[in-house]
Amino acid sequence: MPEVPARNETGTGAEVGWLPTAVAGASLIAVMFGLARYGYGLLLPDMREDLGFSATAAGAISSLSYGCYFVANLAVVRVIERAGVRAALALATLTASTGMGLIACAPSTTVLAIGVGMAGAASGFAFPPYAEIVHRLVTQHRRATVWAIVSSGTGWGVAIAAPVALLAGDQWRWAWASFVIITIFVGFLAHRAAPQGTVDVGSSPPPPPREMLTRPGARPLLLSALAIGAGSSVWWSFSVDALRQDGVSSSPARWVYAACGAASLLASFAGFLVNRSSLRLVNQIAALGVAVTLIAFGMSTAHPSVAAGASIVFGAAYATIIATQGLWSAQIFADRPSAGLAAVNTALTVGTLSGPTIAGVLIDTTSYPIAFAVAALSTLPALALRPPPTNDANNR
């Protein structure tokens, strides 16, 4: 991949400090994913008990969240190119805080579903802008490191959300209200830290969806994202619920969730591993880790310590494969990094649309272990869909 000079959005060629960019990105991704998107799975048992809806309905609501994420990924590219990344980040913050506010005061399952959908859309608005920011403002030799740190923000969010949920106890509405306050604060800081102006993309129009699919190397990447999305979404939606249904009390179940989030932080080292080995190797190890741990978790929900071990490995593997897919996307869509990442997220979301819905039906008709086993099987194609053998992400 040819060297793309780092530059800010006004085209001055100046590099913004990589560490502030990484911290701001990780912080926003933490609240948009760890709180707004994955807080649903963390607090699902208490919400189900209070509002009285089935596992099938829970899966449908989770799929609705991913569907809204899908739409936001398609829309955010235009927002970035017409109004700049600051506008996209502001939109993400507004959508997340409004959606979580609706969840906090939801009088019915319908209002809850609307809030969950808005919160899911917010994460779709937040992620692609950082592909643009990292690509434009960070020199090439640091991009793998910075992108891995930004991607690991999900782990920080989950690690923060779980203790808040533990403090709230069965008062899940207070937990969501706390998430709103945290999101507004972090969103304001991220907005201030982001570069001003619109993205310099020249006079060429955005590539159409067909071109995104037909670029060399694009299809394996997008199909890999689809497979990972289908399987991983089952864990994020039903892990705490599975533990609770198998007799594990609220606090240990939430600590297992927190352990997954803390382990996700290990993905911060994904850039280092890619630099030391190869993008392909790191991606494949992570894909295998996701598949194996989904099966292991589904079989161990009655044993919190074993389930926690599986969750730790799952968290590290999932966050790592998301980071490697971001790096893989950057080398394929170097001319439109935000559009490329949006395409990857869209493929990921197509998978997540089916995962929770199918799992919810399987849970109601069979069992949690079968649902998690099916989830693991759905991720296996990612083992055959691999990045190029050369470490193009680093231009070596």
**What CATH code is carried by the domain that includes residue 311?**
1.20.1250.20
Can you give the pTM of this predicted structure? 0.74
Which of 343, 122, 91 lies closest to 215 in space, CA to CA?
343
**Residue range 287-308, pLDDT digits in tens:** 999 999 999 999 999 898 999 9
Domain of 239 in residue numbering reads as: 18-198+207-389
For residue 20, name the pLDDT band (cuts at 50, 70, 90).
confident
- Residue 394 forms part of a structural domain: no
Q: Mind listing the pLDDT tens digit for each residue in 178-237?
A: 999 999 999 998 888 777 765 554 434 455 555 666 677 788 999 999 999 999 989 988
Calculate ∠ Cα 174-179-182, nearest 5°. 130
Q: What's the mean pLDDT in 313-339?
A: 84
The stretch 142-149 carries a mean pLDDT of 78
Cβ atoms of 264 and 158 within 8 Å: the answer is yes
Q: What is the pLDDT of residue 203?
A: 37
Per the domain annotation, does 11 fall within a domain? no
* Burial state string for 34-73 with b = 16 or more CB within 10 A and e = fewer than 16: bbbbbbbbbbbbbbbeebebebbbbbbbbbbbbbbbbebb
Query: Between the CA of residue 258 and those of 7, 37, 48, 252, what are the distances in Å?
Result: 37, 15, 20, 10
Average pLDDT over residues 318-334: 85
227, 313 contact by CB (below 8 A): no
Give the DSSP H or E segment for 22.
helix 18-29
Rounded to whole angstroms, the Cα distance separating 92 from 341 reads 16
Element at 96 (helix H, strand E): helix 85-104
Domain count, the chain: 1
Instruction: Judge whether residue 366 has pLDDT over 60.
Output: yes
Asked if the structure places residue 334 within a domain, the reply is: yes
pLDDT, position 312: 93
Residue 207, pLDDT score: 53
On whether residue 8 sits in a domain, the answer given is no
Let me know: does 288 contact 336? Beta carbons within 8 Å: no
Q: Which residue has the higher pLDDT, 15 or 132?
A: 132
Per-residue confidence band for 167, with pLDDT thresholds at 50, 70 and 90: confident
Task: Answer whether residue 396 is part of any domain.
Answer: no
In a domain, 145, yes or no: yes
314 within domain boundaries: yes
Distance CA 112, CA 258 (A): 23
Model confidence band, residue 176 (pLDDT cutoffs 50, 70, 90) = very high
Answer yes or no: are the C-beta atoms of 243 and 304 closer than 8 Å.
Answer: yes
Residue 9 in domain: no
